[in-house]
Structure formats: structure tokens, C-alpha cells
Amino acid sequence: MARIGNLYISPPLLPSSSYFISTKQDFLAFYNTRYTGCITTRTCQLDGFLEDGERRRVEYTRDGSSINNFGYSPYPLRQCLSWIEEIEGEKPVIVSVAGGRTQDLLDCIEMIQETRMKLQSGESRFDIGIEVNTSCPNLGNVPAGFDFVQLAEYLTVIARYTANDPTLTVGLKLPPYTHDGHFDSLISVLERTCPIRFITSTNTLGNGQHPESRLVGGIGGSGVHYLALGNVYTLRARLNTAGLQHVKIIGVGGCFDNKSYQNFLNAGADAVGLATAIGVVGRDVFSKILEQ
């Protein structure tokens, strides 16, 4: 069992935010199994859009990597929250949102808080956490996880909510960091304001290419596993040194079997998420990981 802020995650294994968890049917399929301790929704924004054209492909390689060029969910946040209202159970749900403008993030948090208040009951451990996606590499901009001025602004907004309601569990989904400067910048921002209770590390590594289809997009799966482990390990060490032991870590990147799951726990993750393995192995990958 992992306790992340007000979220109790048992087992500490969950679908990470992705295209595979876009619809109400997806939410229910991943929620209603004892092999996940939580679900994370695909990243939503305030407004939806018609998902078509080129920005919606995922390809796999023989070694279990994925390349995808998806953007965010076509479904608006309000729709996503209405599906969550229909879920019955004690497990938490993490809603992934993307800010864009800081005001948009504020509006997202406000909307999620309304739903939280509606669903909260003294008898249940059910709760909704918020994961702020600062790391999609497919949108033609600098993700906030690499823009530490923008990140600091997000944290200031988040702090307003968590100061009023300490039960609200908010985390950041970070991109893969590749040098010490990234970790230094993150920690110095968190040392100033740290309203978050978890970090999800990592999102896909941008700008990979699938050799046969030539699709360019973010790399997930086996190809990023060791990079993700290193990020989790370094984040844990750096957070501890900064006195931020209470910030938990959800390790993500190339988890597809019990060995890779254990690798994350050994590197310092409190819980482990996955996406590519759902596409490669199928929805029953969670039971396979835990029963191996």
C-alpha cells in the first residue's frame, strides 16, 4: 500500500495517464480489478475537441517500446468528472490535467474541487487527486516541466488551494530529466513553494522515430525504462536532501513485468504506473505483473 497525500493506493500499481484510459469504459475496466490500486485519467483540459488528423498515432517496436504523437484527451474535463461520479469504490482516482495558461489550471482545480466536495463521504476512502501534466512532448511548445518560471507560477496557484484544503492531493507529471541542471532547477523551485504531494516520473521522451512507419513522437516502454529508473532514484535522493521527504514518487516508464515493477520500487518509487505495456501486453498486464 502506498499513501500519497490523502490517496491510499493498494496495490501500488496503476495505469498512468494515457490514450488507453480515455473513456468511461476504460475508467471502469481499469478501476474494477483488484490488480490496480488507483487509476489516472488521460490528460484533460477545460475544453474538448474533435480528435482527428495526424496527431493520434501510436506505434510499437519489437523490443517493447512505443512512439506516440497524441496530444491531450478530446474529452473536456467536465465530461471526465461526470464519468468519475459514476464510479463506485474506495480506490482513489487521479485526474490528469494540463494548464496551458495558469488561469486554465486554476479553473481545472476549481472544477475538480467541486466534484470532490460532492463525492466526499466520511465512510469512504475514495478521493480524487490531481496530476498536473507538465511534460507532453508532442505539442510544439516548451513543456512547463522544462520551463521553471512557468512551473513556479503553477506551484503558486496550487499552493492557494492546498493551503485552504490540506486534504487536496496534487502532483506533477514531469518529463525525463537528463542532466543535473534539470534537477537543480526543479528542486530550487520546490524549495521556494512545495504544495505538491507527489511527482510522477516520467512522461515520454520526446522526438523519437519509429523506424518502419517513420512516426515521430514521444518514446515510452522499454526504451525509456533505465532513464525513468534513474530519474526516480535521483528525484528521491534530491527531494530527501531538500527536506521534502513527504513528496512521494510514482515511477513510470517501461514497466511491463514483475522485474521492472520491482526495479521502480527499489529505485525509490512509492507506486508504479504504466501505459505502453497496456498496448503491448493488454489490459491484463496488471495481474501478470503482480502474479509473476
Ligand X SMILES: Cc1cc2nc3c(=O)[nH]c(=O)nc-3n(C[C@H](O)[C@H](O)[C@H](O)COP(=O)(O)O)c2cc1C
Nearest distance in Å: CB 244, ligand X: 22
> What is the residue whose three cell numbers read 505495456?
277
The site for ligand X (CB under 6 A) is made up of: 16-19, 42-43, 58, 66, 68, 70, 72, 96, 133, 173, 203-204, 220-221, 224, 252-255, 274-277
CA 124 to chain centroid, in Å, comes to 24
CA angle 9, 284, 38 (to 5 degrees): 15
User: Which is nearer to ligand X, 48 or 242 (by Cβ)?
Assistant: 48
Please state whether 138 falls in left (phi above 0), alpha (psi between -120 and 50) or beta: alpha
Nearest distance in Å: CB 13, ligand X: 11
User: Which is nearer to ligand X, 145 or 195 (by Cβ)?
Assistant: 145
CB 54 within 8 A of CB 68: no
Distance CA 6, CA 9 (A): 10
Q: Point out the residue whose Cβ comes nearest to ligand X.
A: 220
Following DSSP, what letter does each residue of 13-53 receive, concatenated?
EEEPSSGGG-SHHHHHHHHSSTT-S-EEPPPB-SS-----T
Q: Count of alpha carbons within 13 Å of 193, Cβ hemisphere only?
A: 16
User: Which is nearer to ligand X, 244 or 281 (by Cβ)?
Assistant: 281
User: Which is nearer to ligand X, 91 or 173 (by Cβ)?
Assistant: 173
User: Which is nearer to ligand X, 50 or 117 (by Cβ)?
Assistant: 50
> What's the DSSP call for residue 242?
T
Nearest distance in Å: CB 18, ligand X: 4
User: Which is nearer to ligand X, 69 or 162 (by Cβ)?
Assistant: 69
Contacts (Cβ under 8 Å, ≥6 apart) of 287: 33, 35
Nearest distance in Å: CB 34, ligand X: 21
Nearest distance in Å: CB 164, ligand X: 26
Nearest distance in Å: CB 86, ligand X: 21
